Amino acid sequence: MLNNKYLFRGGEEIVFEAEVDMLRAHGCTVDILTEDNEKVAELGALRTAARGIWSAESYKRVRAQLQSKPYDVMHVHNYFPLLSPSVYYAARAENVPVVQTLHNFRLMCPNGLFYRDGKNCEDCLGKIFPWSAVRHKCYRDSAMASAAVGGMVAAHRLAGTWRDLVDTYIALSEFGRNKFLTAGLPADKVVIKPNFLAHTPDPGAGSGGYAVFVGRVCEEKGVDTLLEAWRRLGQRLPLKIVGDGPYFEAAAAQARDMKNVEMLGWQDSDAVYRLVGNASCLVMPSRLYEGQPVVVIEAFAMGTPVIISRTGPLQELVEDEVTGRLFNPGDAQDLAEKIAWMIDNKDKHGAMRAAARDAYDAKFSADRNFELLTEIYRNAGQRMRSSSSAKNRVSSSTDFGRVES
């Protein structure tokens, strides 16, 4: 299992570790191979950009690992930028099937978010090269860096890497799957498997009498909308904001005038579990096309209803008035009304908490994900073997040369 670590630990890292733990807990042998973006500063921008397109070091390293024992599958979580797509070629050289989890939208958007200038943006969707992203400096606020990422994606699209060298892609939602199909990935190679928790917490009491936000404190996560909604609510329900980020100081300044808002900053995982489990609801006001936030799954596991924005794949997570409420993204008045509904319908909280936990057990538990993931691995192996057999049959009846298998 391969992963290129980001500078700051986030949801993708949590999911990677959870899958490793889950597979090992079910008796599978899992070896991990990682890179760390701390090396980027040492390499410099140009060497990092070149390595993002093709890393000879990663190719050799991965191929040597695959030669060390008979692996059933190579599962890639994040290859960008230091591992690079060269790892797919190493796997194909050793006849090992490849599964790739699509945690973000990097294959279609250099910043991976479909988000620019405070709104969702799909200008580069379906384009061979993302000129709009270069013009708007979408990746790291740099035209050069945006061009490097766009060049990597375009080069491997033209080489057929994305189409031919990955046997199965894992999308996290129907929304995400549809975007990747629009971008040209083969429909029969893109399956849906949700994120999950490696360890299931006990249901919370939900008796704290407050709402909670957990996440990066920034405008794209809708924190400004959240605070405005609470201003409109008056003193009806306290709000606890957990997390840090570039909007934290501005949010804290606004919260100083609001007696019902508490800025808690970063908290460890045990504290987050306690806060979410005792909350009346978790609020997820993001404007982004989020992949599948782990905190929502944690909330469901603890029986905490979720109030979530009707944006991208997020709206697939919550069943309105059953496991939570849906509101229009960026609409503080609509969010305030949904919070007021939760306050005014306390008689429904017990049923909603039970439904949230049922949703977790049905979709997001480790046991259910083990069944889904191992089936994906089996199918990826069958697809690779069928593809190799077909290519060998073609090669034996043409003059195009021998295909090595």
Q: Is the pLDDT of residue 349 over 70?
A: yes
Q: Residue 249 carries which side chain, given as an amino acid letter?
A: E
Q: Is the pLDDT of residue 188 over 50?
A: yes
Domain boundaries, the chain: 2-197+371-396, 211-364
Q: What is the mean pLDDT of the chain?
A: 92
Q: Is the pLDDT of residue 25 over 70?
A: yes
Banded model confidence at residue 109, pLDDT cuts 50, 70, 90: very high
Q: Mapped to the 3 state alphabet, what secondary structure does 258-290 carry?
A: CCCEEEEECCCHHHHHHHHHHCCEEEECCCCCC
DSSP state of 107: T
What percent of the chain is modeled with pLDDT above 90? Answer: 83
In whole angstroms, give the CA distance from residue 35 to residue 14: 16
More confident residue, 303 or 5: 303
Q: Report the relative pairing of strands 239-242 and 261-265 from DSSP bridges.
A: parallel
Per-residue model confidence (pLDDT) at position 389: 66
Out of 32-46, 47-61, 214-228, 373-387, least confident range:
32-46
Domain covering 211-364 in this structure, CATH number? 3.40.50.2000
In whole angstroms, give the CA distance from residue 39 to residue 51: 12
Q: Is the pLDDT of residue 330 over 50?
A: yes
Banded model confidence at residue 23, pLDDT cuts 50, 70, 90: very high
Q: Is the pLDDT of residue 229 over 50?
A: yes
Identical fold for domains 2-197+371-396 and 211-364, yes or no, is yes
Q: Is the pLDDT of residue 198 over 90?
A: no
Per-residue model confidence (pLDDT) at position 391: 65
What does the block give as tokens for 302? 């603890």
Out of 48-52, 94-98, 121-125, least confident range:
48-52
Over residues 59-75, the mean pLDDT reads: 97
Per-residue model confidence (pLDDT) at position 45: 77
Over residues 262-269, the mean pLDDT reads: 94
What is the pTM for the complete model shown? 0.90
Per-residue model confidence (pLDDT) at position 390: 60
**What's the topology of domain 2-197+371-396?**
Rossmann fold (3.40.50)
